[in-house]
Each structure stands twice: as structure tokens, then as C-alpha cells.
Structure 1
Amino acid sequence: MALPAPTTYDPAKHKPLIHQFASIHAACVLRDGTLATFLPVWKGAETTMDHTKLVEYWLSRSQQVEEGSRDIILQYADNNEVEVVGVVSLSMPPSETGPFRSLVEKLLVSPDHRYKGIARRLMEKLEEVALEKHRDLVMLDTTIGSGAEQFYRKLGYNSLGIVPKYGIHPLTGELVDEEFFWKGLRSLEA
């Protein structure tokens, strides 16, 4: 079965899905070591995430959608619109000197639904939304060695550079390097 088109998050309709966003967020951190704002909680040999903290994070992002400074794109597993399998966020911070800039945050795909083109679909929709909002300079960052740096290059993102020891790896506690990227969408406009 083909995946449905990605959906733009509407707080009035989609807020009950926030718990699924939080679960995907946790799975990416715990299974892949994704550098995604929060560190796991160690309970003896078991590693978990603070689900309440993740839900609060996504609720604050939902509030930013309501305020117009963010958009969230989600991908359902099928047309039943029950199971979310991926999410990405476009931050559009207010700036008089850069009202055309935006930031990609939290491209997260459930580890159980990888290699189906979901990340690409989410990014394509995010770029469409960015253009609609006149945010045609898109920036993002990703951890070196995660594999995502090659993914972003394939999507046409340009490397801005690497910041050494940028963040704490959530599973090893080691400091990891982060690569920053940018893409101008102006050439995509019709």
C-alpha cells in the first residue's frame, strides 16, 4: 500500500497525536542515538526517555504553530490517519533582517518504518511549506556519522561547516561533531 501524502499539522485536529510524536522522538534517541535535544534517563541497565518532557516539548511546538512561527509536517502509515510514522518541524523565527530564513528541526522517522522514502517525502513537503511561507532559505544541522549528512546532500543541501564537539551523544555520553547545512529554495519557485 502506498503512503498517503504528508500532512501539515493543524493543532485543532492533530494535537492528540503529540504522544505519537513523543514516542517517535524517544525511539530515534534510544535506538539510533539521535542528537535530538533530550538525553535518556538511565535506570540501572535500562534506558528510557522522559515521555512527559517530550510531550511538553511537542506541545510547546504546537503552540508555536498556532502563533505562526512554526509548521509541523507529519506522515501517516496509511489513509486511516491513525499511526504517525514520521514528523519534521520548520521553525520560522521572527526576524526583520531575515524574514526569509527558516530552520529544519527534528526530522524523525520511526525506526520501524525506515527505508520507505518517508524522510524524503517529509522534507519535500517541508520545502513546499517553506516556499508558501516565503521562507526560501532553509538551514539545518545533523550529527556527523549519523548518515543524515549524505541524505541532506542528496536533497541539494550545501554544507556550511562542521562544529566539533557540538553535543552529547545520548547513548555514549561522548561529545560529537555536528554539520550545518543550507539550501536556497528560490530556484524551485515557478
Structure 2
Amino acid sequence: MSLAVSIFSADDVASHLGELGGLLHACVHDGASIGFVLPYTQAEAEAFWRDKVLPGVREGTRIMLVASKDGRIAGTVQLGCDTMPNQPHRADVNKLMVHPDYRRQGIAQLLMRELEARARDLGRSLMTLDTRTGDNAEPLYTALGYKTVGVIPAYARDPFGSDRLDATTVMYKLL
């Protein structure tokens, strides 16, 4: 079983919209709190990549890493570098997701390590992120050296469309 991480260009994103949409769709339906709530369609997932991610990749303000296993997209993460002039040293971790079929195989950790390497290559020394408090990703980030700044209560709607509002944990790491 072959696992590879690559940087996706704008052309790569455009040519893999269906598969990227499938990844996002599966993650949201599995309960990932990454900004979307059910009901959530494949078409909406593809539109996210086309309308929100692709422009940043094309402009160079967003780097997208994709983990592929046996020729199939298994996970992805984005490095947001569109910071203000007083923050050229900082980057944001965005939308770390691993397809439910590929979880618990070290893919998220591999993606994060590669993302940090890319950030260092760009001269970024501070990484920031937020994650749903108590989510499976929180211990991963802690194990990778991210420190908790604090918790914001009632930050985002539950992905299953209930009226429940979940807290988010804000984290950082100095590279």
C-alpha cells in the first residue's frame, strides 16, 4: 500500500473536484466539525473546493497538501498564508481531514508534519488553528506540540444540524 503526500496546484484541485468533494462530503457526514452542517450534498462539497479553496491556491495564498493511498485521495490539509502585513511570520492550519476509510493510519500526523515543513520553507514560524473542543483532532495537535490558548464557548453549530453550539479550542505552535 503506497502512501504519498503532494502539493496540489490549482490545476490539480480543478481536475480532482469530484474526489475532493467526496472526501469532504464523507467527513461531514461522519461528524467532522469543519464548517458545514447536514444536510450537505456532494455538489455543495465540490463547490467549496472550487469557490473557496481553488482561488487561494491559484493566487498562492493557500497551499494544499493531499495524501493519496493506492491512487485514492485519503486526506488533505491547507496552509493559509494570506496574513496581514504585520504577520508575515504566521500561517493558519485549515481543514485537516482524513477520509473515514483511512483514519487511524497516521495520515493526519503525516499531513501536519509536511504542512509544518512547508510553512518553515516559507519563513513562517508560528502556526495557529482552532478545533472543536473534545474532538478527535485535539489530542493529535497536542501530541504534535500545539499549545492551547483557550476555549471559546458556543463557537459553531453541531455538524449534525442540531441547535447545539460546540466550543472551539484555539491552539498555536512555534516552529
- Shorter-chain TM-score bucket reads over 0.9
Q: Secondary structure at the match of 1:135?
A: coil
TM-score by length of structure 2 reads: 0.93
- Which residue in 1 is equivalent to 2:100? 111
Does residue 16 (structure 1) correspond to residue 15 (structure 2)? The answer is: yes
C-alpha deviation, 1:91, in angstroms: 0.7
In structure 2, the residue matched to 1:72 is 64
Q: Is the 8 A contact 2:37 2:161 kept in 1?
A: no
8 A Cα contact 1:34 1:169, kept in partner: no
Larger radius of gyration: 1
3-state SS, counterpart of residue 21 of structure 1:
helix
DSSP 3-state at the match of 2:23: helix
Q: Which amino acid aligns with 2:104?
A: Y
Contact (CA 8 Å) 1:168, 1:176: kept in 2 or not? Answer: yes
CA distance in 2, matches of 1:83, 1:178: 31
Superposed CA RMSD: 1.4
Report the identity percentage.
30
Q: Which runs of 4+ in 1 moved over 4 A?
A: none
TM-score (normalised: structure 1): 0.86
Q: Deviations over 1:22-59 (max 9, x none)?
A: 2111111111x211122112xxxxxxx22222212112
Q: Which runs of 5+ in 1 are unaligned?
A: 42-48, 186-190
Instruction: Kindly indicate whether the alpha-carbon contact (under 8 Å) linking 1:74 and 1:86 is maintained by their aligned counterparts in 2.
Output: yes
Name the aligned partner's letter for residue 114 of structure 1. R
1:94-151 CA distances to partner (integer Å, 9 max, x unpaired)?
Answer: 3111011111111000000111110001001100111111222110111112121111
**Worse-matched range after superposition: 127-136 or 157-166:** 127-136
> Superposition pairs for residues 95-174 of structure 1, below 5 Å?
95-171=84-160, 173=162, 174=164
Match of 1:44 in 2: none
Moved more, 118-127 or 55-64: 55-64
| Structure 2: gaps of 5 or more residues | none
- Out of 21, 42, 47, the position equivalent to 1:51 is 42
